[in-house]
Structure 1
Amino acid sequence: MKDNFAAIPVFVAVIESGNFSSAAEKLGMTKSAVSKRISVLEDNLGVRLFNRTTRSIALTEAGEHFSDYARNALVIANEGFAALHNQQDIPKGTLKINAPMTFTRLHIVPYIKEFLALYPDVKVVLSMDDRVVSLVEGGFDVGIRIGKLEDSSLVAKKLVDCKSVLCASPHYIAAHGKPSKPEQLSQHNCIHYSLFQGGAEWTFYKDNKKIGIEPKGNFIVNNSDAIAEALLNGLGICQMPTFIVAEHLKSNKLISLMDDYTLPKHAIYAVYPERKHLPEKVRVFIEFMSNKLGDGFGYWDK
């Protein structure tokens, strides 16, 4: 069956050229290779497609009947190749994106209108989910990932740095005091993000020393928006990415703590399954978001 499909362009070329020699020249093949391909096709189909003489060839009745199907098949295939080529050259089609909920709400959704205005032939299907899901199994074209990348089979492009800060509200600090070192956190209500890929431990660095603390508290949640709201309401202390709390820090609704300690450095990535033949719709989206987010350094930190 595979050989039959491969022989269709050869069969059509012979019809259009009128002989094996011209068809061979058109296809960049030898005359004997063309003749053999047609003979194999005839053997597989169990019919003679051409009547051959030393000077000319002519379609048989079966060949005439088959020629319409062969021509149509070749036209449809070429149209498909052209459509794929155009899709690669021009951003178009459905772009399926998987991204974490809070980051996407704050820093991707506000730019979707502009992106779609720039690329009107693209349709965005956005799945916001704080869980890390398989791009391949979910049929996603591109994903946004924060922190440690678990799936090494994906291609990753760094978009921006992801800074974090230990913070609490002035109301909480007034009621419970301000910790100055990691060991004192055991005396505080530490809010924990249950989907944090770094594990349960909070890590701090000072004077080239790593200090690990397991936070204890009465609120564990799988959504960063909920943590931000709890912090603003004075529930406790948490390590938070600045892409969520930068505005609250600037307005003094939240206060950064233990600033003489350094928190682990993370980054925000665009990930996709294949480096080769990257669809144009994916390439322009990654480029667009990289520029909007700050081209390496998050605009919220500037």
Structure 2
Amino acid sequence: MKPSFDDLYLFAQTVIHGGISAAAQSNALQRSKVSRRIQELERMMGCQLLIRTTRTIELTQAGKRLFDLISEPMTQIEQGLSLVQEDQHELSGKLRLAIPAALISSAPVSAIISQYSRLYPDVALEIESRQESVDLRREAFDLQLLPSAEKVMDDSYVQFAILPYFSHFVASPKYLASHPSIESLEQLSCHRILTNRYNAELLDERLTLALRSDDLSLLRILAINGDGVAFIPQVHSKPSIESGELVEVLPELTKPLQQLTLIYPSALFLPKKVKALIELFRQQFQ
């Protein structure tokens, strides 16, 4: 007799959720049933798959081989079944996004979210502020937007580069008039530098990082108020430069090209509501 699909599914769920209780809760089942089905699977396979402890589980060598074998096909089957079920209402339901806080309130992203909501009013958007790469499958996110400086936690995820941009140093005319001149990197090292977590790694080690914040608007406002020299994306400082509130510092310095990256678990069985949002990002940023 061959192992059943249901038992293989519950085994995969137990590994993904990190325990029998969590798998049972996620699938609205009793813990005893999940435990019993895994024991039956082990009996059918003729080997132990899990090492159970009081708080967690560990995979045996056989369990790891089985999970590697079935996890991706299981995910594809689940996605395919969900897609079939959504065929009648393909532009409805829930869509979850993970976006850094600074980008959520940015004008381009806000415009895309607003346009998507108008075009597809039956899709309920859930947007969470996340600064690092998240486990999209385990946390049930459909899409994440991140700067390319942030490493994606799973190399199997689809990564689509959009919006190339540069960052630069900016300060208010009042600040520059009341502080020592800045004509070289050495002179800049005597000033307070304001930047975010993604740009901090790009700064020369001689520079003094006085403040680091994930809020780009805060960094821009602090620079306008004369609290230091901000190192922020050009697209974020452009309106303030055009208004004269900020001026560029050491424009001749070479800065690395950066990008925003759209990340999603798989290109297979991608729901149309997700494809529609990806297309809006492409239209806006490419």
Q: Shorter-chain TM-score: what band?
A: 0.5 to 0.7
- The Cα of 1:113 is off from its aligned counterpart by 2.8
Q: Which has the larger radius of gyration?
A: 1
Q: TM-score, normalised by structure 1?
A: 0.62
Contact in 2 for aligned 1:96/1:142 (Cα 8 Å)? yes
The residue aligned with 2:262 is: 270
Counterparts of 1:181 and 1:136, CA distance in 2 = 47
Which runs of 5 or more residues in structure 1 are unaligned?
7-78, 203-211, 296-302
Query: Partner amino acid for 1:155?
Result: V
Listed one character per residue, the Cα deviations across residues 229-259 of structure 1 (whole Å, up to 9, x for unaligned) are 2111101112101232111111111111111
- Seen in structure 2, the aligned counterparts of structure 1 residues 198 and 127 have a Cα distance that, compared at 3 Å, is same
**1:196 maps to which of 198, 203, 228:** 198
Give the Cα–Cα distance (whole angstroms) in 1 for the partners of residues 267 and 4 of structure 2: 33
| CA distance 1:226–1:131, shift in 2 (3 Å) | farther
Instruction: Name 2:22's counterpart in structure 1.
Output: none
How far 1:153 sits from its partner (Å)? 2.6
CA shift, 1:2, in A, is: 7.7
SS in 1 for 2:270: coil
1:147 aligns to 2:139 (yes or no): no
Residue type at the aligned position of 1:242 = Q
- What are the within-5 Å matches in structure 2 for residues 216-255 of structure 1? 216-255=208-247
Find the counterpart in structure 2 of residue 117 from structure 1: 118
- Whole-Å Cα distance in 2 between the matches of residues 232 and 4 of structure 1? 64
- The 1:82–1:137 alpha-carbon spacing in structure 2 relative to 1, beyond 3 Å, is closer
* Alpha-carbon distance in 2 for matches of 1:81, 1:292: 27
Amino acid at match of 1:156: Q
Which residue number corresponds to residue 134 of structure 2? 133
Equivalences, count: 209
Equivalent residues of 1:182, 1:213 under 8 A apart: no
Q: Aligned partner of 1:98: which letter?
A: A
Aligned-CA RMSD value: 2.7
- Over 3 Å counting, the alpha-carbon distance change for 1:80 and 1:220 in structure 2 is closer
The 2-side partners of 1:154 and 1:82 are apart by 22
Instruction: Call closer, same or farther: CA 1:271–1:214 in 2, change over 3 Å.
Output: farther
Q: Give the equivalent residue in structure 2 for 1:280.
A: 272
Give the gaps of 5 or more residues in structure 2.
Answer: 7-80
After TM superposition, the structure 1 stretch with the greater mean CA deviation from structure 2, 246-255 or 218-227, is: 218-227
The yes-or-no answer on 1:101 pairing with 2:104 is no
Contact conserved, 1:154 with 1:272, CA < 8 A, in 2? yes
| Aligned counterpart in structure 1 of residue 166 of structure 2, from 141, 163, 166 | 163
How far residue 189 of structure 1 moved from its aligned partner, in angstroms, is 1.3
Distance 1:80 1:243 in 2: 38
Compute the TM-score of the two structures, normalised by the length of structure 2: 0.65
